[in-house]
Structure 1
Amino acid sequence: MLMALGAGAILWQMNKPRRKTLGVVLAMGGAVEPADLELEGEEVTFNLSDGSASPGWIVTGDVANGPAAVVVHGHRDSRFGSLYRAQMLRPYCSHIAVFDLPGHGDAQAKRCLMGDREAEDIHAVVDGLPEGMVGEAGLVLLGYSMGATFVLKAAALWPELVERGGVIACAPYRWWDEGLRGQMKRRALPTWPMVPLVAGVLHAASRMNLSLGERPGFDRADDAAALQSPLLVLHGDEDTICPLSAGQAIAEAAPRGELAVIEGGTHNQLLGADYDAVHTALSGFFKKLGKQP
């Protein structure tokens, strides 16, 4: 009974993460609008795949004829955290869109579905971009942690989204349970038998057409292998949540994949660990866009 309750508690936290809303970010002293990071941006509302509303911004980049980008945040993050990634992309893009995934931030949808529908949400956001925002330079999908797995899945399902652009995966996990195991180990919690129990519940829910999370068994390296567009994987060598081996396998599987190992980068502090290394990798990636392999 205790094990079943524990598995239920894990699933609850996965589906109902603590939201990083406007009030929470204000209390933390974080950026709550583009201007806080010296960015220009227009506040917008996107409709996700179920029709629910998700607030966001479209940030203006420095390259008028450059690619557009959509940023997808990780678990327990929100569009506010994505503003820092938009700041990172500004020197390379024309516009950068950020939004809240379901169950996160101030999104109307109440539950995170852990990959069961989020790829469709990304497609819906792309469809909802202003006319002309995605020009000849194409579109880049950037995802962080859980968001990285979602953009890999979306690009594999709909390669036309990034046909002239590409994908940037920051600290991605390869298998469904890598992030969960990492978080549990960090909190000194036993992964057995809890993780197998959670997997069993997800399998059962899938058979009953219940949305609790993506069915275990996926391999994001398979999604990467389907990509014909450039893929950049940014991974920290001190990431204890998603192992570096996951990023390596994903990058190696992609026909046009490249891995940039960020020295000193952890899971939550990856992009700020070495700005020069990150921007060297980004500069090389954006130079590849639109070029035939």
Structure 2
Amino acid sequence: MAGHLARLDAPEVAARIFFPRPDPGDPAPPGSTDLEIPVVGGATLHARLHPGPDGGPVVLLFHGNGEIVADYDDAAGAYRALGARLLVVDYRGYGRSTGDPTPSHIVRDADAVLDFVRARFAGRPAPGVAGPEVTARPQGRPPIIILGRSLGSAPAIHLAATRGGELAGLILESGFARTLPLLRLVGVPVERLGLAEADGFDNREAMRRVTIPTLILHADQDTIIPLDDAHLNFEACAARDKKLMVVEGADHNSIMAYGGRQYWGAIGEFVGRLRERR
């Protein structure tokens, strides 16, 4: 499914796209569990599962560039208060994950991550996965909500577009619709390499295949991924149940802190509705 990204996988391009950061090695917060998810090629992805109410939705979060799972330890309590469990996963080369990140990998690996989550919460461990087993709940597998922030919008939209029947909903935070502006921003010589939008993640086109409930959050002062991208994704989204919330005065990296009650209120309302639909 990620074959169209081959030109971005070239080392001289991928090296400019990704900003991997090592994990300092601190232990997981009390009650949280560190996990290893095997992916194609022998690499493993580090993930962290934070506790929440039994049977509550699982929010599977693909984070932004330069971030790692530990950056979301403090946010886990807010999701727990909303009745959800938070599971954050690192890309290859980020945090404690092994391997090297490429555009194709972050999209393809998302399928392995979703397979892992579905297996884990069905009460059976995914093959080769390290971490405590979880027994099946009487009410069955909990709803899975995909959340993609910034770079993470690519794997999140991919899953929502191709495996929406296995998901309860999609949340995009500061997600991008177009790839070329981001490539130029990080110094990729787009024109010299002859790259076209079709060589990129093509999030906007994929959103035309998203039919599950969708919440899009974006800051109006975002200079990395402009608000226009949020509008493009919203307009392309094929879901009947969709909402765009703009956080005024915030930028790309302050949307959660600046949004405050507005930010968490929108997520809480969205998660609550999906929980009640079970």
TM-score normalised according to structure 1 size:
0.75
- Is the alpha carbon distance of 1:33 and 1:161 closer, same or farther for their aligned partners in structure 2, counting shifts above 3 Å? farther
Say if 2:59 and 2:87, in contact at 8 Å, map to a contact too.
Answer: yes
In the alignment, structure 2 segments of 5+ residues that lack a partner are 1-9, 123-133
| Distance of 1:96 and 1:250 partners within structure 2 | 24
1:190-241 CA distances to partner (integer Å, 9 max, x unpaired)? x8xx2223454xx7xxxxxxxxxx9625532222221221111110011000
- Aligned residue in 2 for 1:247: 230
- Is the alpha carbon distance of 1:170 and 1:154 closer, same or farther for their aligned partners in structure 2, counting shifts above 3 Å? same
Say if 1:166 and 1:230, in contact at 8 Å, map to a contact too.
Answer: yes
- Aligned residue in 2 for 1:228: 211
Task: For 1:153-168, list aligned pairs within 5 A.
Answer: 153-162=158-167, 165-168=168-171
Q: Does 1:264 align with 2:265?
A: no
76-85 or 168-177: which moved more? 76-85
Say if 1:101 and 1:112, in contact at 8 Å, map to a contact too.
Answer: yes
Amino acid at match of 1:50: G
TM-score normalised according to structure 2 size:
0.78
Cα displacement (A) at 1:160: 2.5
- Aligned residue in 1 for 2:41: 50
Residue 284 of structure 1 aligns to a residue in which SS?
A: helix
| Distance of 1:96 and 1:182 partners within structure 2 | 31
Consecutive aligned runs of 4 or more in structure 1 exceeding 6 Å deviation? none
Cα displacement (A) at 1:287: 3.2
- Aligned residue in 2 for 1:173: 176
Q: Does 1:196 align with 2:191?
A: yes
- Aligned residue in 1 for 2:21: 20
Say if 1:69 and 1:93, in contact at 8 Å, map to a contact too.
Answer: no
**RMSD in angstroms over aligned alpha carbons?**
2.8
Q: Work out the percentage of aligned pairs sharing the same amino acid.
A: 22
- Aligned residue in 1 for 2:126: none
Aligned length: 249
Say if 2:82 and 2:272, in contact at 8 Å, map to a contact too.
Answer: no
Q: Does 1:113 align with 2:102?
A: yes
Say if 1:140 and 1:167, in contact at 8 Å, map to a contact too.
Answer: yes
Residue 45 of structure 1 aligns to a residue in which SS?
A: strand
| Distance of 1:66 and 1:106 partners within structure 2 | 27
- Is the alpha carbon distance of 1:234 and 1:52 closer, same or farther for their aligned partners in structure 2, counting shifts above 3 Å? same
Cα displacement (A) at 1:137: 4.2
Cα displacement (A) at 1:177: 1.9
Residue 67 of structure 2 aligns to a residue in which SS?
A: coil
